[in-house]
Every structure is written in C-alpha cells, then in structure tokens.
Amino acid sequence: MKEFKTLFFFLRLPISISLVGHGLVRIPKLQTFTEGMAKSMEKSAIPEILITPFGYILPFLEAIVGIALLIGFKPKLTIYAAISLMTILIFGSSSVENWTAIEAQLLHCLYLFVLLWFYIKNSREENQPLV
C-alpha cells in the first residue's frame, strides 16, 4: 500500500503543478486575465455575460483543484472535477476554433484519465469506497 501511495503521489504531481500554476499565475492579474479571456472569446457564441464571471472564477478553480489533487483530497472526485473543468475549457476553445489550446486541454484530460484509471485499478479494497 505504501508503494501505491508513493507512486500515486508522483503520478499526480505533474498535473497538480500544472493546474496550480495556471491558477496562481493568473490570480494576481485577475482583471487583466479576465479581460483578455473575454476579448479572445468575442467571436464565440457564448454570451459575454457568462464569459466574464467564468474568467474571474477560473484561476481559483484551477488552483483549488490542483491543490486538492496535490494533497490527495478525495482523489476520484478531484480527478472528475479536473476533467469536468477541462471539458468546459475545451468547449470554450472550440467555440473560437482555438485548436492549439484544445490540444493542450485534451492532453490534460488524457493524463487525468490515466491517473483515474491507475487509482481505480490499484486502490480498491473490499468494502472500501473510492471517493
């Protein structure tokens, strides 16, 4: 079990740092980030009334999900939250045909899926919930 915990920590470390990093570098420049996001989404069918609040929330979501994954808080639930967040970002990126961003977001999803698969495959104990 100790080997699983150590390996699982090192497997989640890169994706955790990526999420935390994305969030923490944006928080100090939150307004600038949000305005830039809204400007990049001008041609999107998504209304600006949704984009601006999401721009203010996104860095905090990234940081929170990244920290939760880093410390191992409810791993299965946290990975699902991270995949959900990536899915929202993919939807936004596809609405403005930002295919380069989608590649990075899909790579994050793939990594998260492998992490989830590893967790489910190796952490099961009889009568033990995964969440």
pLDDT tens-place string over residues 51-97: 999 999 999 999 999 999 999 999 999 999 999 999 999 999 999 99
pLDDT exceeds 50 at position 126:
no
Average pLDDT, the chain: 93
By the 10 Å C-beta count (0-12 exposed, 13-18 middle, 19+ buried), 75 is classed as: buried
Label residue 131 by pLDDT band (50, 70, 90): low
Helices 99-123, 75-95: axis angle to 10 degrees equals 160
pLDDT at 129: 55
What is the C-alpha separation between 16 and 35, in angstroms, rounded? 26
pTM value?
Answer: 0.89
Q: Is the pLDDT of residue 105 over 60?
A: yes
Torsion of CA 103, 14, 115, 22, to 10 degrees: -50
